[in-house]
Amino acid sequence: MRLRWGILAALVTTLLLPAVTVTAARVLNPTAGPWVRLVAFTPYALLLYLGALLVLVVASQRVRGTWRSTTRALALAALVGVAVHGWWASAPFVATRPVSKGAPLHVMTSNLLFGGADCGRVLRIALDHGVDVLVLEEVTPRALARLRTAGIDDAFPHQAGAPASDTSGTMVFSSSPLTRVRRLATGFGSYAMDVQIPRVHGGVVHLLAVHPRAPVGDAEAWASDQRVIRRAAHRHQGPTMLLGDLNATMDHAPMRDLVALGYRDAATEAGSGWQPTWPSAGEVSVLGVPLPPLVAIDHVLITGGLRAVGTWTFRVQGTDHRALVAAVDL
């Protein structure tokens, strides 16, 4: 009997302890790097709470006295965890998919992973889906040369940003003119600009093409870049799009701050369901086992009367990020 309850206690601890740790990180927003990275996996705590709840409900039917009270109390705690995490994770699933009112603007973001991505594939995705504005991160000079060989200059005659030999090369390619281009003070390449689109009220959509640093080490550089992006987002009035590899999920505090400013995640608003973008399937392995996409860190955020009507992700060979395309009603 003692062995049986020892195994039960170990199983419940194995499920509940990491789940509660994730919940605490999501609620308290600690700034240390490991905690910031842990928040990215907030949705998976729901599975841990569900597993613990099932084990505890079964166990509570087989014990008496103090043990029954204990298992029921823990089951109640697990049920609260299920409810809270279910609420946090539900938005992309419960939203009603909007119907487009006209010809939507299509935008796309793709991280090229030090320029190693299949650039021809990136351009084909953009052309096949009628992309109007393409934001690429980690564009190296060689990657830009491959893009030009594939015909990106003909497809997108208006360009901003610059390639770089490291991760800071961010570029915007557009079928419409780009004006008022200025660099943002993030560690990687981020830019603010206007896209001239006559059919939108005022003829301009503001664009923030961003790539903040990843939350490695103590994550202070990540937090600093996120503050720069938040300030830039706060300055813009009217139709605005913010897209790129944000190195954050919608559970991270900086992303929730953007929502508080009035920005909406396109995948959430379009009811697209679960669309993780990192790591791209087969590009990252642990102990020789390829990982599936686990977290959504590439985003399109919109505000100022814009409305997302659909989002899609696509695998690109040579990069650990899936490309993200969004259709936006103007």
* pLDDT (average), residues 105-121: 98
Q: What is the pLDDT of residues 280-317, one digit of tens each?
A: 988 888 888 899 999 999 999 999 999 999 999 999 99
Q: What is the pLDDT of residues 29-40, one digit of tens each?
A: 999 999 999 999
Class of the CATH domain delimited by 105-329: alpha beta
Whether the predicted model's global pTM rises above the 0.85 cut: yes
Q: pLDDT band for 265, please (50, 70, 90 cuts).
A: very high
Beta bridge partners of 171: 136, 161
Question: Does the pLDDT value for residue 1 go beyond 60?
Answer: no
Which run of H or E residues covers position 119? helix 119-128
- pLDDT (0 to 100) of residue 182: 97
* pLDDT (average), residues 184-210: 94
DSSP string covering 158-175: EEEE---SSTT--EEEES
- pLDDT (0 to 100) of residue 2: 66
Q: Are 240 and 267 in contact (CB under 8 A)?
A: no
- pLDDT (0 to 100) of residue 242: 98
For the chain, domain boundaries:
2-94, 105-329
Q: What is the pLDDT of residues 58-87, one digit of tens each?
A: 888 876 767 788 889 999 999 999 999 999
**Residue with more model confidence, 6 or 139:** 139
H helical segments located in 169-312 = 220-235, 253-260, 266-269
